[in-house]
Structure 1
Amino acid sequence: MFKWLKKKTVPRIEEFDMIAPVKGQVVSLEEVPDPAFSTKAMGEGIAIHPTEGKVIAPFTGKVAHVMEKSKHALIIEHESGVQILIHVGINTVSLKGQGFHPHVQTGDSIKAGQLLMEFDLNAIQRDGLPIITPVIVPDGQEMISHVEILEGSSTSPDVPVLRVHLKA
């Protein structure tokens, strides 16, 4: 009678793939000119030299956080609970939001491929800041077994760049 009251269970996944959230050339984190990223102090991931000023959702999930004042970074959450940091440029917090145009807010649901943010590549470079964009799986997420970096040097919407393996 009250079947609708039963808690729905989400199928347990062992891993998920993530497409690149930014078009461009994929490079290792070691190439990022900021030791917080290049030493992997924040977590594992990749970096992208963007060729277009757009950030898209690399998977379906929700927006965990948009940096409200600086607008230069997003934290998004996969349905498994895993969070990903997308940090556009280096030291771009200093721009105080200039040149960044988020299309989502904290708490929004997102679908893979959805436009999350636009940013002005030229404005960032005019200010002398690197446009390289780290995509990080932050450390400290207990459900993660390990992060696998997939082969490929340029991004494509149908080719995954990261595979996140979850603990059993």
Structure 2
Amino acid sequence: MFGFGRKKKSEEVQILEVSSPVSGQFVPLAEVEDEAFSSKAMGEGFAILPDTGRVVAPFDGTIAHIMEKSKHAIIIQHKTTDTQLLIHVGMNTVSLKGDGFQAHVGTGDKVKKGQLLLEFDMDKIRQAGFSVVTPVIVPDGQDQIRLVEVDSSVRKPSEDMVLRVYF
């Protein structure tokens, strides 16, 4: 737990720092072609233009939800802060109905940082006419969260801290 200055215990601020669960090139949400993401209607975050078809756990936690049929999206919940993170592989990839996706975890599974969660076939997604840009979002509606900051200056999003969540 991190505290700022001499605040009372009830005012202490905790910070969760998160690196990207997907390696590749950082893309600001404003540049994502889907308005639900680019307008931040779903929450704050960033996107990655992947260089590999792998999603790994960005922290220790539990798989809160995985889209069982399409396997294109996964929500992971941090083990101590209960902060949830949505990882949405590609745009409109739900229509592939799981073709080109392989889940290595299921809803309710406990996971460790760096553990492989999902693999996806980037060529198959592109051949179907879809973008592989992958938004990583802190969904709105999580009452414990005070602020989400994105560091767009990172060079290696899968190694460096990209998101900072204050609660």
Q: Same fold (TM over 0.5)?
A: yes
The answer for unaligned runs of 5 or more in structure 1 is 1-11
Mean CA deviation greater in 97-106 or 148-157:
148-157
Matches within 5 A, 1:49-60: 49-60=49-60
Q: For 2:163, give the aligned amino acid.
A: L
**2:139 corresponding residue in structure 1:** 138
**2:82 corresponding residue in structure 1:** 81
**1:35 corresponding residue in structure 2:** 35
- Kept in 1, the 8 Å contact 2:42–2:139? The answer is yes
Q: For 1:102, give the aligned amino acid.
A: A
Alpha carbons of structure 1 residues 154 and 49: separation in structure 2 relative to 1, 3 Å? farther
Alpha carbons of structure 1 residues 154 and 119: separation in structure 2 relative to 1, 3 Å? farther
**1:91 corresponding residue in structure 2:** 92
Deviation at 1:27, TM superposition (A): 1.2
Deviation at 1:155, TM superposition (A): 2.9
Structure 1 Cα separation of the partners of residues 69 and 13 of structure 2: 35
Over residues 101-157 of structure 1, what are the superposed CA-to-partner deviations in whole Å (9 max), with x where a residue is unaligned? 010000011111110000000000001101100000000100000101124354354
Count how many residue pairs are aligned between Structure 1 and Structure 2: 155
What secondary structure is seen at the aligned counterpart in 2 of 1:144?
Answer: coil
Deviation at 1:83, TM superposition (A): 0.6
Over residues 48-80 of structure 1, what are the superposed CA-to-partner deviations in whole Å (9 max), with x where a residue is unaligned? 000000000001111000100110000000121
Q: State the superposition RMSD in angstroms.
A: 1.3
Alpha carbons of structure 1 residues 13 and 61: separation in structure 2 relative to 1, 3 Å? farther
**2:7 corresponding residue in structure 1:** none
Structure 2 Cα separation of the partners of residues 153 and 27 of structure 1: 11
Alpha carbons of structure 1 residues 40 and 157: separation in structure 2 relative to 1, 3 Å? closer
- Kept in 1, the 8 Å contact 2:25–2:157? The answer is no
Alpha carbons of structure 1 residues 54 and 13: separation in structure 2 relative to 1, 3 Å? farther
Q: For 1:108, give the aligned amino acid.
A: D
Structure 2 Cα separation of the partners of residues 93 and 62 of structure 1: 22
- Kept in 1, the 8 Å contact 2:28–2:152? The answer is no
Structure 1 Cα separation of the partners of residues 108 and 13 of structure 2: 23
User: Could you tell me the percent identity over the aligned residues?
Assistant: 55
Deviation at 1:45, TM superposition (A): 0.1
Mean CA deviation greater in 89-98 or 154-163:
154-163
* Mapped pair 1:160 → 2:157: no
